[in-house]
Amino acid sequence: MSGLSSFKAFVEAVRDRSDLVEIISRDIELRRVGSVLKGLSPFHPEKHASFVVWPATQSWHDYSNGGGLGGDVFTYVQEREKIGFKDAVFLLADRAGIRPPNQSDAEWKRALALANERREMERLLTVAATYYHRALPPEIRDQYFKQHYGFTDDTIDQLQLGWADGRLFEHLISTTGVTHRRALGTGLFVPLQGGRVVDFFRNRLVFPYWRGGRVVYFTARATEHTGNEPWEQAKYKKLRIHAEQQRYISLTVRNDYFFNEDAARGAEELVITEGVPDCISAIQCGVACTSPGTTSLRVLYGLRTANAWADLDLLHVRAQ
Q: pLDDT tens, 300-311?
A: 433 333 343 444
Q: Whole-angstrom Cα distance, residue 9 to residue 17? A: 12
Beta partners for residue 237, in sequence order: 220
Q: Look up the CATH number of the domain holding residue 27.
A: 3.90.580.10
Cβ-based neighbour number of residue 147 at 10 Å: 10
Virtual torsion, Cα 305, 307, 310, 312, nearest 10 deg = 70
Q: Is the pLDDT of residue 319 over 70?
A: no
Number of helices and strands in the chain (H, E): 11, 13
**Extended beta strands in the chain, E state:** 31-33, 36-39, 51-54, 59-62, 69-71, 162-164, 189-191, 197-199, 204-211, 214-222, 236-238, 271-272, 289-290
Sign of CA dihedral 78, 80, 82, 88: negative
Could you tell me if residue 252 is inside a domain? no
Rounded to the nearest 10°, the torsion over CA 266, 269, 272, 278 is -90
**Is the pLDDT score of 316 beyond 70?**
no
pLDDT in the model for residue 56: 83
Domain boundary among 69, 103, 137: 103
Q: What tens digit of pLDDT does each residue of 41-93 get?
A: 999 888 889 899 989 888 898 888 766 788 899 999 999 999 989 899 999 99
Decide which of 75, 103, 131 is a domain's last residue: 103
Domain membership of residue 230 (yes or no) is yes
Inform me whether the pLDDT recorded for 315 exceeds 60.
Answer: no
The answer to whether residue 248 sits within a structural domain is no
Quick check: 216 and 201 in contact, CB under 8 A? Answer: no
CB 199 within 8 A of CB 166: yes
Predicted confidence (pLDDT) at residue 276 exceeds the cutoff of 60: yes
Provide the Cα torsion 175, 180, 186, 188; round to 10°.
Answer: 80
Residue among 53, 57, 63 nearest 21 (CA)? 53
Is the pLDDT assigned to residue 39 strictly greater than 70? yes
pLDDT at 142 over 70: yes
Between β-strands 289-290 and 162-164, what pairing exists: parallel, antiparallel or unpaired?
A: unpaired
Domain count for the chain, please give it. 3
CA distance 72 to 57: 9
Whether residues 207 and 271 share a domain: the answer is no
Residue 108 lies in a domain: no
Q: How far apart are CA 133 and CA 158, in angstroms?
A: 10
Which pLDDT band, with edges at 50, 70 and 90, does 294 fall under? Answer: low
Burial class (CB in 10 A: 0-12, 13-18, 19+), 245: exposed
Domain boundary residue, one of 41, 73, 103: 103
- As a whole number, mean pLDDT of residues 140-158 equals 95
Give the long-range contacts of residues 87-94, CB within 8 A, separation 24 or more. Answer: 89/10, 89/11, 89/14, 92/14, 92/17, 92/18, 93/10, 93/13, 93/14
- 303 in any annotated domain: yes
Residues 316/256, Cβ–Cβ less than 8 Å: yes
Give dist(CA 5, CA 9) in Å, integer: 6
Domain that holds residue 33: 3-103
- In the predicted model, what is the mean pLDDT of residues 211-218? 91
Mode of pairing for the β-strands spanning 69-71 and 162-164:
unpaired
Assess whether 127 and 229 both reside in one domain. yes
131 shares a domain with 33 = no
Q: Tell me, yes or no, whether 243 lies in a domain.
A: no
* 215 and 293 part of one domain: no
List the strands of the sheet with 214-222, edge to edge.
162-164, 204-211, 214-222, 236-238
Lowest mean pLDDT among 144-153, 154-163, 209-218, 288-297: 288-297
Q: 189 in a domain, yes or no?
A: yes
